């Protein structure tokens, strides 16, 4: 595990070769009023370093699932008493995928896992205005994908809407390409210094143009 302070408010917890050989990033944003953990990794053990890091914090902890895939939700059981945010479509998606994921990918689990759903869902966007946090729907990779923008530090977490390696910027898509391109366009309406994704390295906003280019070459 690597713990990297990326900006004043953002710390990235990276689990190396966490799932199917890919690294996995969990972002912590320490807002003025609340802390935000983005994605919960592969089970209870994935969260231990973050919970240790936050043990003296008295701020409310908000948890966000960028999409329903196993490597982003299996640790939800650690946050049963917290607000867990996801897109409305994630509820059905978790249900439909649980059996498959716990069969196919069980070797990647870290500690305990349990099916725990987000308890606060939204359709288009939701904001924590006093913390400068905006969470919005941007489908592409999984269909229930959301992005998290921190207006103070200008970070944007796009979940797995960027491919898993620097050589593969275009993710696997369940949505059609035009829907994904609309999500890219939405990202580009924000002023962004750091783009964070589930598995790739941290990039700047020029990645969206590179993805568009790669799409047009396909």
Q: Judge residue 176's burial from the number of C-beta atoms within 10 Å of its C-beta, 0-12 exposed, 13-18 middle, 19 or more buried.
A: exposed
CB of 25 to Zn ion, least distance (A): 9
Q: Where does this chain bind Zn ion (CB under 5 A)?
A: 71, 160, 198
Nearest in space to 77 (alpha carbons), one of 36, 121, 47, 34: 47
Q: Return d(Cα 204, Cα 206) in angstroms, integer.
A: 6
CB of 77 to Zn ion, least distance (A): 18
Residue number with CB closer to Zn ion (128 or 195): 195
Q: Judge residue 148's burial from the number of C-beta atoms within 10 Å of its C-beta, 0-12 exposed, 13-18 middle, 19 or more buried.
A: buried
Residue number with CB closer to Zn ion (128 or 180): 180
CB of 39 to Zn ion, least distance (A): 8
What backbone phi and psi angles, to 5 degrees, belong to 155?
-105, 150
CB of 136 to Zn ion, least distance (A): 19
CB of 132 to Zn ion, least distance (A): 26
Q: How many CA atoms lie within 13 A of 145 on its CB side?
A: 27
Residue number with CB closer to Zn ion (116 or 128): 116
CB of 145 to Zn ion, least distance (A): 11
Residue number with CB closer to Zn ion (30 or 202): 202
Residue number with CB closer to Zn ion (31 or 198): 198
Residue number with CB closer to Zn ion (86 or 198): 198
- What is the b/e burial string over 66-92, where b = at least 16 CB atoms within 10 angstroms of the residue's CB? bbbbbbbbbbbbbbeebebbbbebbbe
Q: Return d(Cα 165, Cα 193) in angstroms, integer.
A: 20
């Amino acid at each position: 595990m690597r713990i990297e302070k990326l900006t004043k408010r953002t710390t990235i917890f990276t689990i190396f070769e966490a799932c199917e050989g890919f690294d996995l990033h969990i972002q912590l944003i320490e807002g003025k009023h609340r802390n935000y953990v983005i994605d919960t990794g592969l089970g209870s053990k994935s969260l231990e370093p973050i919970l240790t890091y936050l043990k003296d914090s008295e701020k409310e902890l908000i948890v966000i699932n960028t999409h329903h895939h196993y490597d982003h939700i299996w640790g939800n059981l650690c946050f049963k008493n917290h607000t867990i945010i996801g897109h409305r479509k994630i509820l059905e998606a978790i249900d439909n995928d649980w059996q498959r994921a716990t069969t196919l990918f069980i070797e990647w689990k870290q500690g305990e896992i349990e099916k725990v759903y987000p308890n606060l869902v939204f359709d288009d966007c939701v904001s924590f205005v006093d913390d400068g946090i905006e969470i919005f729907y941007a489908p592409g990779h999984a269909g229930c994908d959301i992005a998290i923008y921190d207006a103070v530090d200008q970070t944007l977490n796009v979940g797995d809407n960027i491919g898993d390696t620097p050589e593969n910027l275009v993710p696997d898509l369940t949505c059609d390409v035009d829907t994904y391109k609309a999500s890219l366009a939405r990202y580009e309406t924000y002023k962004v210094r750091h783009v964070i994704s589930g598995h790739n390295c941290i990039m700047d906003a020029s990645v969206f143009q590179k993805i568009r280019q790669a799409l047009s070459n396909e």
